[in-house]
Structure 1
Amino acid sequence: MHPVHHHLVKIALDEIKPTQATVGYQEVIAKRKEWADLTEKKRAGLIDTHWFPSIIGPNKQYYIVDHHHLGLALHQEGQQTVLLTVLKDLSWLDLEIFWKVMEFSQWVHPYDAKGNRLDYQSLPKHVSELKDDPYRSLAGLARNKGAYAKEDTPFAEFMWADYFRLHIKAKTIKESMDKAIVLALDCAKKTEASYLPGWSGLKEEK
């Protein structure tokens, strides 16, 4: 790794550490398709303009706090390096305190593909190890269809994924994502979802 200029670091993709355990593979597939459609020049432009926000942790490890879907897509497409911007240098902290600060700052989402809590040691060591959470795919696709508004709230899509997890069967998603999206659009408008970031409607309930 080496600094590109005062706030950017160029780093090998296989050196960055994720701060979540899952992604929605449907979103990864979409990003791979977008990448495949780009010319070499536009691919270089994407890398130059899509900076991965990161935290420097113990042992000078770089932990990305966003763009996990893009990171996995780029890995699967064979991209070797990416650019990071450093939000905070916490390299001087011991590991236990580091994770406490990360969680307090909402920079980590330690939950598995079923929504269960993980210990920090169980988080992936590389973007290639990110697992698929079909409900995260559903949350992203439903948002694109207007189920809720895009928000800057950290891990908003995962909050919606957990909500949909309670209301839509995994079998439905597996058999027909389109049907699952229709169901998600319906239940996203209910008042019981009003606590979620980006909630954007009231469905009249009979």
Structure 2
Amino acid sequence: MAVQREPLLNPVPVKELRPTQITVGMREVALKRQMIRAQSVKKTGTFLGTHMVPAVLGPKGRHYVTDHHHLARALIEEGVKDVLVTVISDLSALDKDSFLFVLDNRGWMHPFDENGQRRDYAAIPKTIAELVDDPYRSMAGELRRLGGYAKDTTPFAEFIWADFLRRRIDKDDVAKNFDKAMKEALTLAKGKDADYLPGWCGPTSD
């Protein structure tokens, strides 16, 4: 299969992008929306020029996003119509079933729902706007910003952390007091139980 790493010269409508996961953290999306609102149109354009969305070209020439789902969702919510895309692989010659199988096995897909359960490929939404909220994905993003773990190149690393937190912090506690739940998450992130996770920083001496 041909591999293309140069960005496309023509922008792609954000609404036409296909997700490769089922969920996002809507708190994460809200933060990106705030960032877009707080800066000028020119600055947003410059930002998008340096944060092109990576995608795999699939059947019928559709672009399947492999990263930046939160940014893409925020752009839709803020009325931004187009975004530059970097095609990391052209798999458009494959049939749909083969294509999805390859995405999955190359780590370009995360077919897990808001409860952390693996689902059939058909459960992945057809549009970015249909992505479902997973509060634990928001926790994982906030945890990294707070220094709970380091940025890592492992595919879908934040979802791995989200699953770790999901098994240890009650969902009702997250909904009732997010900040309190984050304090618990920080403590858990520094414990030995988390040492297998991508970007683990180890225990502190505090």
**Do the structures match in fold with TM over 0.5?**
yes
Q: Deviations over 1:129-178 (max 9, x none)?
A: 01110000011111111111111111001000000001100111101111
**What TM-score does the superposition give when structure 1 sets the normalisation length?**
0.93
Two-structure CA RMSD over aligned residues (Å): 1.3
For 2:29 and 2:22, the matched residues in 1 are separated by 14
* Structure-2 residue corresponding to 1:132: 133
* Structure-1 residue corresponding to 2:44: 43
Q: CA deviation at 1:48?
A: 2.0
Q: CA deviation at 1:202?
A: 2.9
| SS of structure 2 residue aligned to 1:138 | helix
The runs of at least 4 aligned residues of structure 1 exceeding 4 Å deviation read: none
Q: How many aligned positions are there? A: 199
Aligned runs of 1:55-134 on 2, under 5 Å?
55-134=56-135
* Structure-2 residue corresponding to 1:34: 35
For 1:133 and 1:179, the matched residues in 2 are separated by 18
| Cα contact 1:143–1:149 (8 A) shared by 2 | yes
Letter in 1 for 2:7: H
For 2:152 and 2:94, the matched residues in 1 are separated by 31
| SS of structure 1 residue aligned to 2:86 | strand
From the superposition, tell whether residues 58 and 175 of structure 1 become closer, same or farther in structure 2 (CA, over 3 Å): same
1:193 aligns with 2:172: no
* Structure-1 residue corresponding to 2:3: none
Q: CA deviation at 1:203?
A: 6.5
1:165 aligns with 2:157: no
Structure 1: tracts of 5 or more residues without a match: 1-5
Q: CA deviation at 1:189?
A: 1.5
Q: Deviations over 1:48-102 (max 9, x none)?
A: 2220001011111110100000000000000010110100000111112111211
* Structure-2 residue corresponding to 1:3: none
Letter in 2 for 1:196: L
From the superposition, tell whether residues 166 and 10 of structure 1 become closer, same or farther in structure 2 (CA, over 3 Å): same
For 1:40 and 1:63, the matched residues in 2 are separated by 26
Structure 2: tracts of 5 or more residues without a match: 1-5
* Structure-2 residue corresponding to 1:52: 53
Q: Deviations over 1:85-134 (max 9, x none)?
A: 10000011111211121111100000111111111111111111011100
